[in-house]
Amino acid sequence: MSEQKRVLSCIQPTGHMHFGNYFGAVKNWVDLQEKYNCVYGVVDYHAMTTLYKPDKLRQATWEIIFSLLAVGVKAENLFIQSLIPEHVELCWIFNCFSSYGQLQRMTQFKDKSNQAKETTKDTFISTGLFDYPVLQAADILLYHADFVPVGKDQDQHLELCRSIANRFNTQVGKEYFVLPETLHTETPKIMSTADPTRKMSKSAGDKHYINVFEEQKRILKQVRSAVTDAGASTMSVDANGIREKSAGVENLFELLKACGKLNAHKDLETKYNEGNLSYGDLKGTVGEALAELSAGFVARKAELMADKKNVKYQIQQSSAEIRVRAKQTLKDVRQLTGLGNLKY
Ligand code: TYM
């Protein structure tokens, strides 16, 4: 029987989990666990690449662990990146197999360094931020992942990861690393409801993301104030009777689909194409769907938080077990790259 395919993905511990993270990636993490050999990391080394506070980092790491467990990620599949220092060793080795020119072309580096300059008014940009995608390649290849479930914003990083694996294999003369494939959900890019021209994201500020564990009232309010357009009747209709959608309206429909409310989606879309849809109704339906989903997650998280000590112990154990695989890869890589070996 062929070996089960391997899946890896990670999330940064930078505050709340939002519906972009959930519908773009984490929902897939949960579903894939039934079929594949999955490991998922909370990447605290990555979170050090922009300005941060040490005590807040540890707190945010546990916060996101509890959030992931609450939405259905299994404890035995979860690890904390810094409990597995092999990630950084492999990153260093990969630095020597990465093209400086290709790293300079990473759009996330450009965006994040501009954002850091704007928000902190500081010109300091860390080398870690520049090297971030190489550490990401190490996260993936350390576990020989076949599939990487992520949102659309990670495509360029995945391309770089495949380049590194390729160059490594060529240089050591062995097809050691498999080239991982990207997996997207049906909604790989959720936009900000406050500004549907930019993706939903924490770094853009509070109004640009909806926290999965938010109070119901605030979810409804955030969706109610979503940016739309001047009305369906102002949008053009094609020969098939399909009415063009503005980015904001498209995003609301995407959210509804992502919540699994397919009947409501179909009904509201028919009304929209006929030019009879009130955006108030659309926003009300989307807000309620998100709030309903969130309520189950909030309740589950509260249960887990009541058992904090035990959960933390489990994650330390699972990280130690997952580390065994990482150590084996490093052993092979050291051998293949001519690094020190105790048997002289
Ligand atoms: P992060 O922490 O920014 O986001 C975690 C996951 O959520 C996805 N995502 C979105 N998907 C759709 N719409 C959005 N608006 C949206 N915002 C975020 C991201 O694509 C991601 O899948 N570099 C990664 C973390 C990382 C990683 C890895 C991922 C480090 N090592 C190895 C995969 C494999 C990041 O910053 O994700």
Q: Is 202 a catalytic residue?
A: yes
User: Does ligand 1 come within 6 angstroms of the Cβ of 20?
Assistant: yes
Query: If you measure from the C-alpha of residue 59 to the centroid of ligand 1, how many angstroms do you get, rounded to a whole number?
Result: 19
Is the pTM higher than 0.85? yes
Distance CA 157, CA 153 (A): 8
Structure tokens at 121: 């008014």
Residue 244 Cα, ligand 1 centroid: separation in angstroms?
29
Domains of the chain (ranges plus CATH)? Answer: 6-187+308-337 (3.40.50.620), 202-303 (1.10.240.10)
Q: Is 44 in the pocket of ligand 1 (CB under 6 A)?
A: no
Angle formed by the axes of helices 155-172 and 107-120, to 10°? Answer: 130
> Atom 19 of ligand 1 has which residue's CA nearest to it?
151
Contact 236, 218 (CB under 8 A): no
Of the candidates 332, 300, 321, 336, the residue with the CA atom closest to the CA atom of residue 37: 321
Q: How many Cβ atoms sit within 10 Å of the Cβ of residue 114?
A: 11
The backbone torsions φ and ψ at residue 49, rounded to the nearest 5 degrees and listed phi first, read -80, -20
Q: Which pLDDT does position 342 carry in this prediction?
A: 59
Which residues, including other chains, have CB under 8 Å from residue 264's CB and lie 6 or more apart?
Answer: 256, 285, 289
Are the C-beta atoms of residues 22 and 70 closer than 8 Å to each other? no
How many Cα neighbours within 13 Å face the side chain of 157? Answer: 24
Task: Record the tokens describing residue 202, joined without a space.
Answer: 């924490």
CB contact set of 1 (below 8 Å; sequence gap of 6+): none
Q: Let me know if 74 is a catalytic residue.
A: no
Predicted confidence at residue 191, as pLDDT, reads: 98
Nearest residue (by CA) to ligand 1, atom 29, is 10
Q: What is the pLDDT along the chain (344 residues), one digit of tens a residue?
A: 568 999 999 999 988 999 999 999 999 999 999 999 999 999 999 999 998 999 999 999 999 999 999 999 999 999 999 999 999 999 999 999 999 999 999 999 998 888 877 776 778 899 999 999 999 999 999 999 999 999 999 999 999 999 999 999 999 999 999 999 999 999 999 999 999 999 999 988 999 999 999 999 999 999 999 999 988 888 999 999 999 999 999 999 999 999 999 999 999 999 999 999 999 999 999 999 999 999 999 999 999 999 999 999 999 999 999 999 999 999 999 999 999 865 55
**Cα–Cα dist 22/81, whole Å:** 20
Residue 332 Cβ inside 6 Å of ligand 1? The answer reads no
CB 12 near ligand 1, within 6 Å = yes
SS3 sequence of the chain: CCCCCEEEEEECCCCCCEHHHHHHHHHHHHHHCCCCEEEEEECCCHHHCCCCCHHHHHHHHHHHHHHHHHHCCCHHHEEEHHHCCHHHHHHHHHHCCCCHHHHHCCHHHHHHHHHHHHHHCCCCCCHHHHHHHHHHHHHHHCCCCCEEECCHHHHHHHHHHHHHHHHHHHHHCCCCCCCCEEECCCCCCCECCCCCCCECCCCCCHHHCCECCCCHHHHHHHHHCCCCCCCHHHCCECCCCCECCCHHHHHHHHHHHHCCCHHHHHHHHHHHHHCCCCHHHHHHHHHHHHHHHHHHHHHHHHHHHCCHHHHHHHHHHHHHHHHHHHHHHHHHHHHHHCCCCCCC
CB 50 within 8 A of CB 126: yes
pLDDT of residue 2: 65
By alpha-carbon position, which residue is closest to atom 24 of ligand 1? 11
**In angstroms, rounded to a whole number, what is the distance separating the alpha carbons of residues 168 and 260?**
42
Q: What is the pLDDT of residue 231?
A: 87
- Ligand 1: centre distance to CA 243 (Å): 32
